[in-house]
Amino acid sequence: MSKWTAAADANRGTLEFSIAQADVQNALQPAFDKNKNQIAVPGFRKGKVPMSLFLQKFGEEALYQDVMDIVLPAAYEAAVAEQGITVVGRPDIMPVSMDKGADWQLKAEVAVAPEIKLGDYTGLTVEKQDASVSDEDVDAEIKRQQENQAELVLQEDGTKAENGDTVVIDFDGSVDGDHFDGGQAKDYSLELGSGSFIPGFEDQLVGHVAGDDVDVKVTFPEEYQAKDLAGKEALFEVKLHEIKRKSLPDLDDEFAKDVDEDVDTLAELKEKTKKNLQEARESAAKDAFEDAAVQAAVDNAEVVGGDLPQEMINEDVDRQMQQYLAQLQQQGISPDMFFQISGQTQESFRKQFEEGADNRVKTNLVLEAIVKAEKIDPSADEVAAEVKSLADQYNISEEQVKQSLTDALLKHDIAMKAVVDKIVSSAKAK
């Protein structure tokens, strides 16, 4: 039997539950087997001590920690299921009594998912975004393509470096006279104004000419990924070898053919560019309309009891970070490499995902509450269709999809999509 007592904070409480003595006794043997190779008793080799002798000499209490590891998960999950609560985060479980021969008594301080009081979520009025494309938009896109086709041309001696130029440099950095790892390079190509170096570094090369020796003084950011350099002033001795400047191609029919082999003239390129921009704008406007409709439904709902549990926020942030790093890993970029390349710390990286985490959590809770209110329960046919769709999308077998995703998870995703469709399809554009 278990008991749930809500705290003054409606999203927290105490779960009291017990572990039957029969379960404790059944776990003594596997707990002993786990440790027997480390048990030393005079007259016996390690691993050969009979359990009866061990219990006689040390008592079953000596195994209680390992017994607890064995029996606790099932007992805790059964208590949570019996009380019908949705626990978030890690519980703080404490034994109340573990007397020999009696049922063990435990309690867990837990955070639970809050109740959601729904507001209006159908027939919402949402502002429609402008999806029109102007001639200026087309010109800007053509200009971007022109920039991409630019060639770097070596400049004559005496030419002063400007933002946008690429300079070839040697540099050697030091802090208080001590040279540090990663602070040296030869024939390094750096685009001035790109912001790829420490703030202030690139600016101090503007106006110099090839052959100049430049002492660049900068201060490392307080959150620089190398802790031993963070916040410190540094001197970089820089030798400027070459200055290269972009040479833009002429905007003519030949340029158009180079950019897109399916067109013959600049006019055709502009027409195709406008069409592509139009499709992209319409797609973005559609996505924005859907996001705004869902957000309106979320804003109309209320979290009963006030704030969301911090555990739910933390779980969301952890999940977002792990997914991002996993995607990089698939591209061959390890977490260590990512932090080195980006110059970020774990703390600064985490802050990016903390922004908006509370809204993401509330959105998920609201959509799940609508699923419950609408009594949406996907059928076996809908699950089968979703499996086929995912298999086609990722070019894998349906069996692989079933091995990766449980029916419960598939049903959850289908139901959530159905709720979003219901919100969006009934929303009106203004």
Residue with tokens 């626990």: 87
* Claim to verify: residue 162 and residue 108 sit in the same structural domain: no
Helix pair angle (407-426, 266-300), 10° resolution: 100
- Of 209, 227, 247, the residue at which a domain comes to its end is 247
The pLDDT tens digits of the residues spanning 2-42 come to 999 988 776 899 999 999 999 999 999 999 999 888 877 77
- Of 238-252, 262-276, 335-349, minimum mean pLDDT range: 335-349
Instruction: State how far the Cα of 88 lies from the Cα of 301, in Å rounded to an integer.
Output: 20
pLDDT at residue 65 tops 90 = yes
- Rounded to two decimals, the pTM is 0.71
Q: Any idea what the CATH number is for the domain that residue 201 is in? A: 3.10.50.40
**pLDDT attached to residue 307:** 83
pLDDT at residue 49 tops 80 = yes
* Claim to verify: residue 241 and residue 157 sit in the same structural domain: yes
Instruction: State how far the Cα of 173 lies from the Cα of 188, in Å rounded to an integer.
Output: 14
pLDDT at residue 208 tops 80 = yes
* Claim to verify: residue 226 and residue 155 sit in the same structural domain: yes
In a domain, 235, yes or no: yes
Cα within 13 Å of Cα(121), Cβ side: 26
Q: Residue 396: what residue type?
A: I
Q: Any idea what the CATH number is for the domain that residue 39 is in? A: 3.30.70.1050
Confidence of residue 236 (pLDDT cuts 50, 70, 90): very high
Q: What's the domain range around 71?
A: 2-112
Find residue 108's DSSP bridge partners.
15, 93
In a domain, 44, yes or no: yes
**Backbone torsions φ then ψ of 101, nearest 5 degrees:** 85, -5
Average pLDDT score over residue span 359-374:
96
Instruction: State how far the Cα of 399 lies from the Cα of 25, in Å rounded to an integer.
Output: 41
Mean pLDDT of the chain: 93
Q: Residue 118: what residue type?
A: L
Instruction: State how far the Cα of 296 lies from the Cα of 300, in Å rounded to an integer.
Output: 6
pLDDT at residue 43 tops 80 = no
**pLDDT attached to residue 11:** 86
Q: Is 361 left (phi over 0), alpha (psi -120 to 50) or beta?
A: alpha
β pairing state of 12-19 and 87-97? unpaired
* Claim to verify: residue 16 and residue 104 sit in the same structural domain: yes
In a domain, 58, yes or no: yes
In a domain, 331, yes or no: no
Confidence of residue 267 (pLDDT cuts 50, 70, 90): very high
SS3 of 324, please? helix
Higher pLDDT, 48 or 239: 239
- Give the list of residues 6+ apart from residue 303 with CB closer than 8 angstroms, or none: 114, 115, 116, 117, 362, 365
Q: What angle do CA 274, 280, 283 make, to 5 degrees?
A: 140
| Domain count across the chain | 2
Confidence of residue 127 (pLDDT cuts 50, 70, 90): very high
The pLDDT tens digits of the residues spanning 292-339 come to 999 999 999 999 877 899 999 999 999 999 999 999 998 888 888 888
In a domain, 223, yes or no: yes
pLDDT at residue 159 tops 90 = yes
Q: Tell me which residue of 237, 234, 244, 242 sits closest to 214, measured CA to CA.
A: 237
Confidence of residue 241 (pLDDT cuts 50, 70, 90): very high
Percent of the chain with pLDDT over 90: 80
Confidence of residue 411 (pLDDT cuts 50, 70, 90): very high
- Of 247, 280, 314, the residue at which a domain comes to its end is 247
CB 21 within 8 A of CB 101: yes
**pLDDT attached to residue 320:** 95
pLDDT at residue 235 tops 80 = yes
In a domain, 430, yes or no: no
Instruction: State how far the Cα of 415 lies from the Cα of 372, in Å rounded to an integer.
Output: 10
In this structure, the dihedral spanned by the alpha carbons of residues 405, 407, 409 and 410, taken in order and rounded to 10 degrees, is: 90
Residue with tokens 């410190």: 232
Percent of the chain with pLDDT over 70: 100
- Of 65, 84, 112, the residue at which a domain comes to its end is 112
Quote the tokens at residue 339: 């932090």
Quote the tokens at residue 198: 């420490």
In a domain, 37, yes or no: yes
**pLDDT attached to residue 135:** 94
